Structure 1
Amino acid sequence: MIYEFKLPDIGEGLHEAEIIRWLVREGDVVNADQPIAEIQTDKAMVEMTTPVAGKVMSLAGPEGATVNVGEPLIVLDTEAAGEPRGNQSEQSTGLKETSATVQADRGTRPARKRVIAAPSVRKRAREMGVPIEEVEGTGEGGRVTLADLERYVREREAAVTVAETVQSGIGKVEEASFARSSHAVSDRISKALFAPPSTGPSPLTEEEERIPLRGLRKKIAEKMVKSVYTAPHVTGMDEIDVTKLVEIRKSLAAQLAEERIKLTYLPFVIKAVTRALKQYPMFNATLDEETNEIVLKKRYHIGIATATKAGLLVPVIRDADQKSIRELAIEIAELSEKAHRQALRLEELQGSTFTITSTGAGGGWFATPVINYPEVAIFGAHAIKRRPVVIDDEIVIRDIMGMSLTFDHRVIDGEPAGRFMRTVAHYLENPELLLLDVR
């Protein structure tokens, strides 16, 4: 019986996914719940499993292809999964025959080894040009780790060095064939000099490198373009005197360090922003373009833009307004750690109503953040610097933080945006007000 496993809607608003890596080939016999492919959605990389057993008849396309929701991802012959039947000796023979048939279908290509590895390790292997099937895994159950990849590369480089040494020892033998090959080299040079210009992609040289725009990077690019070309972006910028905040955070950080909790400035920013969102609900909203309605969100799910080696991810802190500074610090650390391991679940990347981004201590003073569409605004917290300012006609040194607010001008105007920014600034300049929240 032929069974088509169609790409399901595994995420909020998912329409398509990119095939990052096939874990099976045509002709393979797979078991139910066996991983068959790694796909990249708008949110994260997901390992897909087949719901039924069977023989792989066809795949949706090559690695890098895009599959729409509802389209066949893989086609299986489920009757082949039950073959052969009978006693143990018959089963053994049948398995060998099946293996030989698969081998014949693939020419002389050996069956693909099933590798146990995290998506992040597979991605790193592709970046390093390492065939992960050749790497011996030292992790639990034979799992391939990043350390295994690095060891493989070192051993491969060592092998190349040995080969080069051996090759240099037979250089004299090669001299005899130099005269015969020189004419062929001359012909190749002539063709290169006088051949007509190519209309295809320019070949790689030592002066450049081409990196395919795939996976998470491609999804980020698509989302950024959609946001910028859909919503008219306007960015406001200002400075905040966070001298009190620096002192309070330093004091609380020392206390929480005893519990092995890292306290950054981000929990305070989240608390200040959620307070401002309650005062200005138009910022905690989306625009339904089909019905021409502004949809105000009644809960405060804050997305935290997080830079990883794979690209920008936005894990979500749900009901952030109901959590204390301590609780926010713990959750931020957990989500950040999972983001860097590419271990976030889909539900941890969905449903944000407002996003906060931070350039960190090493970032610039200001920026123009891109809205996390379909939200209508994004807040940027930037570096804190010691600067001279005028207070009561005197020059004093204070801790000053830059801030940015980008908003969708279809929904929000400049005047309320200015008030929103000043509200956030008020709470960050007076952080003791945030500590009054029991949650």
Structure 2
Amino acid sequence: MIYEFKLPDIGEGLHEAEIIRWLVREGDVVNADQPIAEIQTDKAMVEMTTPVAGKVVALAGPEGATVKVGEPLIVVETEAAVAGEAAPTEDSVREPVPAAHGEAPRPARKRAIAAPSVRKRARELGVPIDEVEGTGEGGRVTLADLERYVREREAAATVAARDEAKKDALPTGGAAGGRQASIATWTSIAGLDALFEEEERIPLRGLRKKIAEKMVKSVYTAPHATGMDEIDVTKLVEIRKSLASELAKEQIKLTYLPFIIKAVTRALKEYPMFNASLDEETNEIVLKKRYHIGIATATKAGLLVPVIRDADQKSIRELAVEIAELSEKAHRQALRLKELQGSTFTITSTGAGGGWFAKPIINYPEVAIFGAHAIKRKPVVIDDEIVIRDMMGISLTFDHRVIDGEPAGRFMRTVAHYLSHPEVLLLDVR
């Protein structure tokens, strides 16, 4: 019996996914619940498993292809139709599949056991993960195994290149001829190196491709307008420093972000139009009654936006703990889909070493995004006197279809007020 496993809707609003890596080939025999592919959705990379056992007779396309929800991802001839063919276990070696006319037989192979994050890193390094010897539990391939494999491969390549260069540079016409050959060989190698170093092409795939698509959709759908300002956060610097030393005793790292989240959620309650989206089909502005704050997080793989749900209901301490947990999981690429979905407003930052101002791009379909930037000690005028204060650059990008400049200015002033008087935020125990 032929079974078509169609791409399910595994995420909020998912319409399609990109095939990052096939974990099986046509002709392979698979078990039920065996991983068959790694796919990239708008939110995260997901490892798909087959719901049935049998022989793989067709795949949706090559790695890099896009599959829409409801389209077949893999076609399996189920066990009932291939009775007598034993399905291999995850650790067993796959038997060669008989080759079609004119096609060379494929060698037997063993599928490596590895986490999706390790598989992704292997792709970035250009490492055939099935060839890597795993030293983890049960033979699982670890990041350390990948690094060892790369070092050994590079060492072998260096030795081979040196041996080849020496062979090509052997004398062919006496001592002078040998010197000329050697010079010619190394000049040729140097010339090739220079040629190849002029440019490098990196495929726009996976998470980077999804980020690009979402940014383009946001900019070309919502007319962006951005306001910028600088605010006095001298009190905030002092309070954070005092509380940070206390929380450090509990192994909790306190950044400025929990305070910014509290200030933003307070402003969102005063100006509900910012905690909204625009339904373009019905021409309705949808006001959100809960405050799920997306935190733009830079990782080696690209920008991820984990979500802190009901942020207005959490204390500074609770926010600090959750931010640390989400950030750690984001850098390990271990975030679950539900931790990347449902944000109603997003906060971003250029970091402590970043620029003073920036123009953030809206996390569509939200209608605004707040940017918190570097804190610097600067001379400012207070009561006609020049004093040194801790100043923070801020920016607010908003969808001009929904929000005008005047309310955007009031929203920024409200956030600025709370960040300039952070003692008020400490009253929000929950």
1:222 maps to what in 2? 213
Correspondence list, 1:331-410, <5 A: 331-410=322-401
How far did residue 310 of structure 1 move? 0.4
Alpha-carbon RMSD: 2.2
1:41 maps to what in 2? 41
1:196 maps to what in 2? none
Match of 2:405 among 376, 401, 414: 414
How far did residue 164 of structure 1 move? 3.8
Match of 1:115 among 112, 117, 123: 112
Distance 2:81 2:307 in 1: 41
2:200 maps to what in 1? 209
Distance 1:171 1:265 in 2: 61
Work out whether 1:20 is the aligned partner of 2:20.
yes
Is the contact made by 1:20 and 1:63 (CA closer than 8 Å) also made in structure 2?
yes
Change (3 A) 1:81 1:125: farther
**3-state secondary structure, aligned to 2:398:** strand
* 1:178-232 alpha-carbon deviations (Å, 9 max, x no partner): 9xxx9xxxxxxxxxxxxxxxxxxxxx83300000000000000000000000000
Work out whether 1:149 is the aligned partner of 2:146.
yes
How far did residue 262 of structure 1 move? 0.3
Work out whether 1:52 is the aligned partner of 2:52.
yes
1:163 maps to what in 2? 160
Change (3 A) 1:135 1:390: same
Change (3 A) 1:321 1:27: same
**3-state secondary structure, aligned to 2:268:** helix
**3-state secondary structure, aligned to 2:211:** helix
Correspondence list, 1:4-403, <5 A: 4-79=4-79, 83-84=83-84, 102-105=97-100, 107-167=104-164, 170-171=167-168, 175=172, 205-403=196-394
Match of 2:55, as an amino acid? K
Give the count of matched residue pairs: 406
* 1:299-329 alpha-carbon deviations (Å, 9 max, x no partner): 0000000000000000000000000000000
Is the contact made by 1:55 and 1:80 (CA closer than 8 Å) also made in structure 2?
no
Match of 2:323, as an amino acid? I
Distance 2:94 2:298 in 1: 45
Work out whether 1:436 is the aligned partner of 2:427.
yes
**Unpaired runs of at least 5, structure 2:** 88-92, 182-194
Match of 2:423, as an amino acid? E
Give the TM-score normalised by the residue count of structure 2: 0.90
How far did residue 119 of structure 1 move? 2.2
Change (3 A) 1:239 1:170: closer
Is the contact made by 1:25 and 1:112 (CA closer than 8 Å) also made in structure 2?
no
Distance 2:363 2:162 in 1: 55
How far did residue 132 of structure 1 move? 1.2
How far did residue 82 of structure 1 move? 5.5
Is the contact made by 2:97 and 2:105 (CA closer than 8 Å) also made in structure 1?
no
Distance 2:410 2:286 in 1: 21
**3-state secondary structure, aligned to 1:144:** coil
Identical-pair percentage: 86
* 1:120-156 alpha-carbon deviations (Å, 9 max, x no partner): 2222222222111111111222221221111111111
Distance 2:104 2:320 in 1: 56
Distance 1:175 1:127 in 2: 43
